[in-house]
């Protein structure tokens, strides 16, 4: 993906995927119990329930936005 992004002139942000499948995209609570099975995500703190892949994608997107801001605006408070 990186070489294709470079070739197309598109910025690429690498995101650490650690715990994105166990973390709640709504409240941020991380627990193994949030994943009762492979496809289901159910937060034990706030009750959010959705497909596990959708929740993980939301977490990755949020981290990507935060990482992009840190790179593009390093002196922002």
The first and second tokens of residue 13, run together, are 């942000």
The first and second tokens of residue 11, run together, are 């910025």
CA 74, CA 13: separation in Å to the nearest integer? 14
pLDDT digits (tens, 9 = 90+) for 6-56: 999 988 899 999 999 999 999 999 999 999 999 999 999 999 999 999 999
pTM greater than 0.85 (yes/no): no
Torsion sign, CA atoms 41, 42, 44, 47: positive
**Which residue, chain included where needed, has tokens 């997107």?**
61
User: What distance lies between CA 66 and its chain's CA centroid?
Assistant: 10
Q: Is 30 helix (H, G, I), strand (E, B) or coil?
A: strand
């Amino acid at each position: 993906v990186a070489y294709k992004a470079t070739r197309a002139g598109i910025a690429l942000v690498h995101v650490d995927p650690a715990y994105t499948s166990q973390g709640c995209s709504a409240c941020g609570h991380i627990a193994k119990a949030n994943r009762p099975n492979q496809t289901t995500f159910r937060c034990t703190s706030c009750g959010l329930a959705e497909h596990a892949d959708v929740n993980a994608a939301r977490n990755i997107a949020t981290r990507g936005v935060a990482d992009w801001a840190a790179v593009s605006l390093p002196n922002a408070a």
